[in-house]
């Protein structure tokens, strides 16, 4: 069995947007297991409460905060609430996002494009700005933005999602330069084929339904087509994504800012 690196996060606090989703939940467990307090932010209060209940076994402070990342006032309120409860935030996992529709470019629904950009770009900006202001005043910290391998290669039938994740990588690189003087490191994490989970199942089903030249009409065949495109011939796990976040937040990555860490399984 491969040993998992243990980072020293005891006494620190991580804020996770999209905390009720698969990646947010896995990351919350990863940090709580290493002694960090966890502030969960999400629109889905019921699922977020379930995650918080799971984290009780680690005997670390946990808080839940309703947050719509597209609303700047909501982000400010949630962050202020987290700071009030925990005293300060050390790490911010800017992870909330929306996968969007799957369609060919000439058929992509305009309303979904606007919705996705509002969540994945404007929402990420809202959290990035608010987090930067807090960390600046607190003397430094680390921000990790969730991008995607879609923001590196531009997969078919995912126009809005790819555009949003290219934007997140660009924001990360600029923010890293702007915030370095304040002792704030900013990096991005780009998962590729990660599963099992809701987003993996949804992706294969919707790619199959598009009817493009790239994928079969059977979602099970699509699964294998996509996995066969990866050098390691397997899905990455949620735990491996969380391990990537932990590394980028850790002292071992103290030299890293403006990087995009790809969790791809090879290309």
Catalytic residues: 161
Give the per-residue SS3 of the chain. Answer: CCCCCCCCCCCCEEEEECCCCHHHHHHHHHHHHCCCEEEEEECCHHHHHHHHHHHHHHCCCEEEEECCCCCHHHHHHHHHHHHHHHCCCCEEEECCCCCCCCECHHHCCHHHHHHHHHHHHHHHHHHHHHHHHHHHHHCCEEEEEECCCHHHHCCCCEHHHHHHHHHHHHHHHHHHHHHHHHCEEEEEEEECCECCCHHHHHHHHHHHHHCCCCCCCCHHHHHHHHHHCCCCCCCECHHHHHHHHHHHHCHHHCCCCCCEEEECCCC
> Are 62 and 48 contacting, i.e. CB atoms less than 8 angstroms apart?
no
Crossing angle of the two packed helices 45-55 and 22-33, in degrees rounded to 10: 20
How many angstroms separate the Cα of 155 from the Cα of each of 30, 39, 217, 251?
A: 29, 33, 17, 34
Instruction: For residues 140 and 258, give the distance between their C-alpha atoms in angstroms, rounded to a whole number.
Output: 15
């Amino acid at each position: 069995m491969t040993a998992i690196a243990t980072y020293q996060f005891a006494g620190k606090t991580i804020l996770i947007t999209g905390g009720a989703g698969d990646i947010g939940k896995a990351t919350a467990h990863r940090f709580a297991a290493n002694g960090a307090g966890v502030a969960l932010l999400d629109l889905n209060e019921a699922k977020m409460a379930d995650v918080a209940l799971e984290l009780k076994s680690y005997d670390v402070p946990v808080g839940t905060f309703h947050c719509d990342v597209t609303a700047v006032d909501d982000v400010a309120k949630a962050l202020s609430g987290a700071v009030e409860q925990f005293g300060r935030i050390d790490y911010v996992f800017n992870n909330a996002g929306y996968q969007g529709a799957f369609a060919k470019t000439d058929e992509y629904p305009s309303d979904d494009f606007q919705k996705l950009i509002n969540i994945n770009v404007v929402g990420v900006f809202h959290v990035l700005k608010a987090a930067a202001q807090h960390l600046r005043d607190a003397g430094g910290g680390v921000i990790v933005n969730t991008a995607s391998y879609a923001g590196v290669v531009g997969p078919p039938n995912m126009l809005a999602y790819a555009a949003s994740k290219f934007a997140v990588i660009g924001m990360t690189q600029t923010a890293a330069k702007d915030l370095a003087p304040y002792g704030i490191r900013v990096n991005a994490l780009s998962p590729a084929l990660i599963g099992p989970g809701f987003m993996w199942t949804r992706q294969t089903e919707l790619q199959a339904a598009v009817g493009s030249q790239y994928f079969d009409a059977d979602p099970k065949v699509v699964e294998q087509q996509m996995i066969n495109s990866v050098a390691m011939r397997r899905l990455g796990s949620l735990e491996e994504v969380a391990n990537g976040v932990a590394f980028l937040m850790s002292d071992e990555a103290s030299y890293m800012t403006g990087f995009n860490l790809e969790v791809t399984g090879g290309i």
